[in-house]
């Protein structure tokens, strides 16, 4: 028996990392919002590695924070170890990574949702989405509650027809034993939405008391703690240790002897798995020349003895898993608390999305996270934030927020999946961002906070602090470029001690700062008029001056990119009638309906010659 349960602006289906950001953004922008989870205990769950950030993913978290999202603040509250990765390389690839207390992370995010104005948190399974005249009108729960809504954001993660595999055993389930969503897939198919099957996996969890850490390498956190959120000051805390051990030939022999029992190799799994996060059996097969593989042993919280074994994802039977884990130094007596498993689930073809993350052909239906074919908490969260913002903007009758590839990793990610699609779970990597020297994690606020403020997700106080920081950086850069250091005994002695050439003529401080041997802190010995800047401000000044030449080169590339992105294609253009476009180009352009010439140029099958024809066509149209 169905009943009308109420009327709302936005309904978010799923309360993982995408759903939480989507619901908070919509509610904070004044929308009367609902968020549903099959289990409230699964809100912001970390069914895989309980960490936030990492290479390129740290960039996404900083960008989420700069726009007014929650993930950075939540990990700052609940981290138990923090590290800056890639410090031996340039600043473009520096990335924060924090180990989280899994349960505290969940509890903090759940409480944040519960306290948020305009937001109601409900436990229910959504089984039907109602559409009239191509527009979202309502959703229905499994117990018959109907909610009239103006927009729906699907953030279903790995729950859509989720299926767990452990060797020959399989069952319908979401992660961590939570029920799968088995009815919504059929509803989506009836709406004409194309579904595909993807797969991911997770390693076993092991009781700490059964591990011999003396046989492992200790992995400590950084002494200089940094916060993810630009609003938070770094807070010192007692960090936990992580550990590193390795597989060996015995491990690999057990895996090879039991490959026939792996559901992946036995053909039981239909879904495509992530190439950049393979299972241990995949690693042994694909990298047969490697004598060992890393296994990181990481705590999942302060109030549990469970340890996570990163790098050992598997779908082999439990008895095989136990045997191979017992060959690894330090894990010879390991006691499993949870076996590793693979999970297969339904997701959509993201080529059917607009850059706003609205589904083409169904007005008011947005999608975010793993349902879009991506992998990872951070990738999900940034999509959730954009979907939440754009659902609110649509209801308000305003233009959507679309970040391009020059504005952030978020823009790269969304452009990649919407324009190029993905035939495997998509993972963000620094190599995907062609303008990564401009898209550093340190300057995410300088790039995106103004946008967050204009939308309405950044407070007046935060905006005031942001403007002051920006002014301090600009003022200090001007001072360094205008301050001349004259050659004298003290200056040249300082330069000699730091292994760099002495001065024979007056030189600007900014030129000295560009020298490899010097940094901003070292220059304080000969620079007596410097202002009292924060650590973030000092870091930004140094990076912008040291890499000024490279930054200017990328800015020239960005200008060329922008020219094509600003050439907007009419929505009603019939590419069949544009003479000169190749047959494949016509088909792809009519199918994907690109927003701009720039986006059209990135569609597979659209040639440079097709783009030239489109540019002439646009020029002709605009001159009429």
Q: What is the mean pLDDT of residues 130-145?
A: 97
Q: Give the C-alpha separation, 189 to 196, whole Å.
A: 11
Q: Give the C-alpha separation, 545 to 476, whole Å.
A: 11
**Which DSSP string do the residues of 6-54 spell out, in sequence order?**
EE-SEEEE--SHHHHHHHHHHHHTT--EEEEES-GGGTT--SS--EEE-
Q: What is the mean pLDDT of residues 130-143?
A: 97
Cα dist. 219→78, 98, 242, 305 in Å? Answer: 19, 13, 5, 18
Q: Give the C-alpha separation, 188 to 260, whole Å.
A: 35
Helix axes 71-78, 377-395, angle to 10 degrees: 140
| Residue 228 confidence (pLDDT) above 70 | yes
pLDDT for residue 621: 77
pLDDT tens readout for residues 102-122: 999 999 999 999 999 999 999
Residue 345 sits at φ, ψ, to 5 deg, of -155, 165
Query: In 3D, which of 389, 408, 402 has the Cα closest to residue 59?
Result: 408
CA dihedral 446, 452, 457, 463 (to 10 degrees): 40
Task: Decide: 129 and 189 in contact? Cβ < 8 Å.
Answer: no
Q: What is the mean pLDDT of residues 25-51?
A: 97
| Residue 338 confidence (pLDDT) above 70 | yes
pLDDT for residue 57: 97
Residue 163: its H or E element: strand 163-166
Cα dist. 293→207, 282, 319 in Å? Answer: 22, 11, 21
568 Cβ neighbours under 8 A, 6+ residues apart: 595, 596
Tell me which of 116-120, 122-126, 132-136, 173-177 is least confident.
Answer: 173-177
Secondary structure in 3-state letters for 272-320: ECCCCCCCHHHHHHHCCCCCCCEEEEEECCCCCCEEEEECCCCCCCHHH
How many alpha carbons lie under 13 Å from residue 219 in its C-beta half-sphere? Answer: 20
Query: In 3D, which of 371, 368, 366, 432 has the Cα closest to residue 400?
Result: 366
User: Could you count the other beta carbons within 10 Å of the beta carbon of residue 197?
Assistant: 15
The band of 624, judged by pLDDT with boundaries at 50, 70 and 90, is low
The band of 212, judged by pLDDT with boundaries at 50, 70 and 90, is very high
Rg (C-alpha) for the chain, rounded Å, is 26
Q: What is the mean pLDDT of residues 239-257?
A: 97
Cα dist. 584→228, 284, 418, 607 in Å? Answer: 45, 40, 18, 9
Q: Give the C-alpha separation, 294 to 309, whole Å.
A: 10
Q: What is the mean pLDDT of residues 453-467?
A: 98
Give rounded-to-5 percent helix, strand, coil for the chain.
40, 20, 40
> What percent of the chain clears pLDDT 90, i.e. is strictly above it?
86
Does CATH place domain 205-343 in 3.40.50.150? no
pLDDT tens readout for residues 322-332: 999 999 999 99
Q: What is the mean pLDDT of residues 443-461?
A: 98
Residue 175 has what DSSP assignment? Answer: G
Q: What is the mean pLDDT of residues 240-250?
A: 97
- Burial call 115-127: b when 16+ CB within 10 Å, e when fewer: ebebbbbbebbbb
Give the residue extent of every domain in the chain. 3-50+69-74+104-199+345-430, 205-343, 472-551, 567-623
107: which strand partners?
none
Query: In 3D, which of 456, 402, 356, 436 has the Cα closest to residue 153?
Result: 356
Does CATH place domain 567-623 in 1.10.10.10? no
Task: Decide: 536 and 445 in contact? Cβ < 8 Å.
Answer: no
pLDDT tens readout for residues 23-37: 999 999 999 999 999
Interior angle at CA 30, CA 25 and CA 35, nearest 5: 55
Query: In 3D, which of 391, 377, 393 has the Cα closest to residue 18?
Result: 377
Residue 417 has what DSSP assignment? Answer: I
| Residue 248 confidence (pLDDT) above 80 | yes
pLDDT tens readout for residues 286-324: 999 999 999 999 999 999 999 999 999 999 999 999 999
pLDDT for residue 94: 95
Q: What is the mean pLDDT of residues 222-229?
A: 93
**Which DSSP string do the residues of 213-265 spell out, in sequence order?**
GGGSEEEPPPSS---SSTTSPP----PPPEEEEE--HHHHHHHHHTGGG-TTT
The band of 41, judged by pLDDT with boundaries at 50, 70 and 90, is very high
Residue 5: its H or E element: strand 3-7
Q: Give the C-alpha separation, 149 to 138, whole Å.
A: 5
Fold classification of 3-50+69-74+104-199+345-430 (topology level): FAD/NAD(P)-binding domain (3.50.50)
562 Cβ neighbours under 8 A, 6+ residues apart: 404, 406
pLDDT tens readout for residues 388-447: 999 999 999 999 999 999 999 999 999 999 999 999 999 999 999 999 999 999 999 999
| Residue 526 confidence (pLDDT) above 70 | yes
Q: What is the mean pLDDT of residues 213-228?
A: 95
- What CATH architecture applies to the domain 472-551? Orthogonal Bundle (1.10)
pLDDT for residue 570: 87
**Mean predicted lDDT score pLDDT of the chain:** 95
Residue 381: its H or E element: helix 377-395
| Residue 355 confidence (pLDDT) above 80 | yes
| Residue 592 confidence (pLDDT) above 90 | no
Q: What is the mean pLDDT of residues 6-32?
A: 98
324 Cβ neighbours under 8 A, 6+ residues apart: 247, 251, 254, 255, 280, 316
CA dihedral 499, 500, 501, 507 (to 10 degrees): -150
> What percent of the chain clears pLDDT 70, i.e. is strictly above it?
99
Q: What is the mean pLDDT of residues 197-204?
A: 94
Residue 169: its H or E element: strand 169-172
């Amino acid at each position: 028996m169905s009943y009308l349960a109420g009327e709302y602006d936005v309904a978010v289906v799923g309360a993982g990392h995408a759903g939480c950001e989507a619901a908070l953004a919509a509610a904070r922008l004044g929308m009367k919002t609902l968020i549903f989870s099959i289990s409230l205990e699964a809100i912001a769950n970390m069914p895989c590695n309980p960490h936030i950030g990492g290479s390129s993913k740290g960039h996404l978290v900083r960008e989420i924070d700069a726009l007014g999202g929650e993930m950075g603040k939540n990990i700052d509250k609940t981290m138990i170890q923090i590290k800056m990765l890639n410090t031996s390389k340039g600043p473009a690839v520096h990335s924060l990574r924090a180990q989280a207390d899994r349960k505290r992370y969940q509890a903090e995010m759940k409480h944040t949702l519960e306290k948020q104005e305009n937001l109601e948190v409900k436990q229910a399974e959504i089984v039907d989405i109602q559409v009239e005249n191509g527009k979202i009108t309502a959703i229905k729960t499994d117990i018959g509650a109907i909610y009239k809504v103006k927009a729906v954001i699907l953030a279903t993660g790995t729950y859509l027809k989720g299926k767990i595999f452990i060797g020959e055993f399989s069952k319908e389930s979401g992660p961590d034993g939570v029920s799968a969503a088995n009815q919504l897939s059929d509803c989506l198919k009836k709406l004409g939405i194309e579904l595909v099957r993807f797969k991911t996996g997770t390693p076993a969890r092991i009781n700490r008391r059964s591990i011999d850490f003396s046989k492992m390498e200790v992995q400590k956190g950084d002494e200089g703690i940094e916060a993810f959120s630009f609003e938070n000051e770094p807070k010192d805390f007692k960090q936990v240790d992580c550990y590193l051990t390795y597989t060996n030939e015995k491990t690999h022999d057990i895996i090879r002897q039991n490959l026939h029992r792996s559901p992946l190799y036995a053909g039981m799994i239909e879904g495509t798995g992530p190439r950049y996060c393979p299972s241990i059996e995949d690693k042994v097969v694909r990298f047969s020349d490697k004598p060992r593989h890393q296994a990181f042993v990481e705590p999942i919280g302060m109030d549990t003895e469970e340890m996570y074994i990163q790098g050992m994802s598997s779908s082999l039977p439990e008895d095989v898993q136990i045997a191979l884990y017992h060959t690894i130094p330090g894990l010879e007596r390991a006691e499993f608390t949870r076996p590793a498993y693979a999970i297969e689930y339904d997701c959509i073809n993201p080529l059917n999305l607009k850059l706003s993350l609205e589904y083409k052909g169904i007005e008011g239906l947005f999608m975010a996270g793993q349902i879009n074919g991506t992998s990872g908490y951070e990738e999900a969260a940034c999509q959730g934030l954009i979907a939440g913002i754009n659902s609110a903007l649509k209801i308000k009758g305003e233009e959507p927020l679309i970040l391009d590839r020059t504005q952030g990793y978020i823009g790269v990610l969304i452009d990649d999946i919407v324009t190029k699609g993905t035939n495997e779970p998509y993972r963000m990597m620094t190599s995907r961002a062609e303008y990564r020297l401009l898209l550093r994690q340190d300057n995410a606020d300088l790039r995106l906070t103004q946008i967050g403020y204009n939308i309405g997700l950044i407070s007046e106080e935060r905006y005031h602090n942001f403007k002051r920081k920006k002014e301090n950086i600009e003022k200090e850069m001007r001072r360094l470029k205008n301050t001349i250091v004259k050659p004298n005994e003290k200056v040249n002695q300082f330069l000699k001690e730091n292994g760099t050439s002495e001065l024979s003529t007056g030189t600007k401080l900014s030129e000295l700062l560009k020298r490899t041997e010097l940094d901003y802190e070292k220059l304080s010995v000969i620079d007596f008029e410097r202002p009292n800047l924060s650590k973030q401000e000092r870091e930004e000044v140094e990076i912008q001056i040291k890499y000024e030449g490279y930054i200017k080169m990328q800015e020239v590339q960005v200008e060329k990119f922008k020219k094509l992105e600003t050439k907007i294609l009419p929505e009603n253009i019939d590419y069949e009638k544009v003479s000169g476009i190749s047959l494949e180009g016509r088909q792809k352009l009519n199918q994907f309906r690109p927003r701009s010439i720039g986006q059209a140029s990135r569609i597979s099958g659209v040639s440079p010659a097709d783009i030239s024809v489109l540019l002439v066509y646009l020029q002709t149209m605009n001159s009429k």
